[in-house]
Structure 1
Amino acid sequence: MITNIFNEFKTCTQLQYNGQLNLISPNQHQWTFYYRLGRIAWATGGTHPFRRWRRLMAQHCPQIDVDKMQLRQQDISTNYWDYRLLEILYKKQKIQREQIHAFVESSITELLFDLAQQSNFHTIMGERSQKVILETPMSFTSADLSIKQMLDSWTNWSEAGLTNIFPDFAPVIRRTEQLQQQVSPSIYKNFVTLINGKSTLRDLAVKMRQNVLPVSRSLLPYVLKGIIELVELPDLPLIVTENANNPISTQPKKSKAPLIACVDDSPQVCKSLEDIITSNGMRFIKIQDPIQALPILIQEKPDLIFLDLIMPVASGYEICTQLRRISAFANTPVIILTGNDGLLDRVRAKVVGSTDFLTKPVAADKVMSVVRRYLPVQTPLPMKTGSRLEVCH
């Protein structure tokens, strides 16, 4: 069954087709692939178009808070609403072309995978239409390459025993006592936190910064034993503001105490900085696992980051370099922490985009001097107790 569908894709490539390839299954699943000169420019449809858009925005455009976007009904009324939103965000210079390309690639990959899985259960009908032609696509994708990657992905999925496991289903724990007996307390805590029936397997994979295959494979034994059940979830729509005067705008953030982050594998350094920051009325987040630093920083969006230079697996140099590649952190002050006040370290820290340098041990006057120098807002008055967010892995 799947061969006939891929012959359609092959034909579109050979014809250098401009237009839509519409595919539909007997259970009314629909997919639309938009072609320009024989290459896929966009793809939409599937089970969870809105949930997918939210998930891919969080993954590839973390600087955009989807829930704060003001959308009118006409913004999401066309079949390719998701593409239009990316276009508008790009024109407003809120996202970069590289982010759009990654978004498009991920969307096409997901939809092709779902198409392959559905083709194992249903006959898929296809038709070409030139009703909508994207004249100036923001991204081009080779259909042949995408299909090869999808076939490899589907083969791996099937060989892992996941043929009947749909990545848009959500895991929910059904037998908590049995689960508690089979796993360690820390793993059980993670299971209870993450597996609540509100996130699909794909949502969980993005949260865990993993591919959906290993996440699904790790849950399969519990699914087979009936400890975990996979359930269907409704789509998660975007919020429409009927009287939005400026569509696709983001509301300003409410005034809050500045959030300061510390990425350091030393508990002593984190504790010292925490005491200094919170006693001066600011919020604090500590990250002691450098591997988790980037996803946590993207999620929390601190106003200033203290970053240790020497850490296992991922150094401060590497983390700083990755941060500066993300537009949301282009201007965030990054203060390198080090026990060595050498010239070479200072030069290298500047090269990777750090803002300043602070030598250990940290002292309150030096820390607050740096904070006041680089934060664009006035720091609040000291307070007896400060709010903090601990992220220890």
Structure 2
Amino acid sequence: MPSGKSWTLYLCVGRLIWATGGHHVVRRLYRHLSKQCPNLSLDMMVLREQSGFDYGWDYQVINILVLRKKIAKEQAKEIISQILFEILFDIVQYEARGSLSYQEECSDLAQSAMGILTLLSIKPILRKLSQMWMAWQKAKLGYLLLQAAPQLQNLDRLKQVTSPQAYDRLEKIANGKRTFRDIANLLKQDEVTVVRSLSGLIRKGFIRLISLADFPHPGLLPTHQFTSGLTMARQRPLVACVDDSYQICWEMEQIVQKAGYEFLAIQDSVRALGLLIDRKPDLIFMDLTMPIVSGYELCAQIRRVSALQTIEIVILTGNTIESLRGRLLGVSDCLSKPIQKEKIVGILHKYLAVSPAPTRNPIKHRSRQRATVQV
């Protein structure tokens, strides 16, 4: 993993109240918000306020959601505790490697800036941290980092030594799109169990670990329409993208909206059919390899719904065999990954017609940091 990352810990009267920073600030907040409040969408993480970032952008998002009554105060405290635990575990890992430096800074922040922050009971967090660290060391996982993303390799050999069911499961979770923490959250398992289950394949060379960039900062983007279930009158054709990768959805949104179309991103394949029936898009881009409900299954479900039978479906895949199988399910076109702007625009022009819409200026924010722990 890249060096140069830092964490900021906030203490009040000697008690820890908040922490931020690290490798995946946006990804981490989105994961914990989704866990506590599955009905929240990413557009709720876009902030238009230009002040009040004394504790960082991510804390401000939590505080604003409480003020808007989108989440309860108790849920917010649980999210804060989970984020603190995650950051402290990362710090412990890097400390064990002897690669940390510390810097202290005293700040006199206004009481009004604290929002929902309270003096947390650190003992339960430290007790849980100690238990996980002992389990981590016992499983001999010290060389791995939870922010790494597992990706399958040596596929032909792997197919020979695993059952078809096990291979399909591995292909869905170890696809290089999710970190170990994301996978644990998806499977509703603890991180030690997940990493331990994959560590053998990592040692044998069937899984490599890659670094993922953080999600694009929602505070710097136009308001998203992610997983919105509201039926709205629209003047322009609606393009949907069903893909469990936030990065792919974000890239698709930039291309589609600049081309003048409305956009709907759906990352949860379980909820996808209901959202598609509700919104009735004019064109659907779909990933085939998704957990729980695959793109193949979803294509078959769509074609059984009379209101969706005539909608054009374009599958996104990096595999020729997948493309052929998709054709048998009634898809209109296939595009290879990684996605290319010119090809996406070509598909839009092929199946839809609309005048380009004006682009919007990004929203800019500023944040201020305090004490840091740096790698």
Whether TM-score is above 0.5 comes out as yes
TM-score, normalised on structure 1? Answer: 0.54
Once the 2 structures are TM-superposed, how far is the Cα of residue 59 of structure 1 from its aligned partner? 1.0
Q: Deviations over 1:29-66 (max 9, x none)?
A: 21112223433221111111111111111111212111
CA 1:52–1:241: 2 relative to 1, 3 Å: closer
1:283 aligns with none
1:35 aligns with 11
Equivalent runs, 1:283-362 vs 2, <5 Å: none
Q: Deviations over 1:308-346 (max 9, x none)?
A: xxxxxxxxxxxxxxxxxxxxxxxxxxxxxxxxxxxxxxx
TM-score, normalised on structure 2? Answer: 0.57
CA contact (8 A) 2:24 2:215 kept: yes
Equivalent runs, 1:106-121 vs 2, <5 Å: 106-121=82-97
Task: Report 1 or 2 for greater relative contact order, CA contacts < 8 Å, sequence distance ≥ 6.
Answer: 2
CA contact (8 A) 1:34 1:43 kept: yes
Once the 2 structures are TM-superposed, how far is the Cα of residue 161 of structure 1 from its aligned partner? 1.0
CA contact (8 A) 2:201 2:207 kept: yes
Aligned AA for 1:222? L
Aligned AA for 1:52? R
Partner SS for 1:129: coil
Aligned AA for 1:146? I
Structure 1 unaligned spans of 5+: 1-25, 257-294, 304-382, 389-393
Partner SS for 1:167: coil
1:124 aligns with 101
Once the 2 structures are TM-superposed, how far is the Cα of residue 152 of structure 1 from its aligned partner? 2.1
| Counterparts of 2:121 and 2:53, CA distance in 1 | 28
| Counterparts of 2:231 and 2:95, CA distance in 1 | 51
Partner SS for 2:202: helix
2:33 aligns with 57
Once the 2 structures are TM-superposed, how far is the Cα of residue 131 of structure 1 from its aligned partner? 4.7
Q: Deviations over 1:144-197 (max 9, x none)?
A: 432232122111111111101100000000111122122221121111122111
Equivalent runs, 1:200-239 vs 2, <5 Å: 200-239=179-218
Aligned residues: 242
Once the 2 structures are TM-superposed, how far is the Cα of residue 109 of structure 1 from its aligned partner? 0.5
CA contact (8 A) 1:73 1:242 kept: no
Once the 2 structures are TM-superposed, how far is the Cα of residue 302 of structure 1 from its aligned partner? 6.4
Structure 2 unaligned spans of 5+: 233-267, 276-303, 310-375
CA 1:69–1:252: 2 relative to 1, 3 Å: farther
CA 1:155–1:132: 2 relative to 1, 3 Å: farther
Q: CA-atom RMSD, angstroms?
A: 3.4
CA contact (8 A) 1:97 1:138 kept: no
Aligned AA for 1:124? S
| Counterparts of 1:91 and 1:253, CA distance in 2 | 23
Alignment equivalent of 2:138, drawn from 159, 169, 181 = 159
Aligned AA for 1:207? L
Aligned AA for 1:125? Y
Once the 2 structures are TM-superposed, how far is the Cα of residue 240 of structure 1 from its aligned partner? 3.9
1:325 aligns with none
Taking only the aligned residue pairs, the percentage that are identical comes to 28
1:10 aligns with none
Once the 2 structures are TM-superposed, how far is the Cα of residue 68 of structure 1 from its aligned partner? 5.9
CA 1:166–1:252: 2 relative to 1, 3 Å: closer
2:69 aligns with 93
Q: Does 1:47 align with 2:26?
A: no
Equivalent runs, 1:241-320 vs 2, <5 Å: 253-255=229-231
CA 1:166–1:127: 2 relative to 1, 3 Å: same
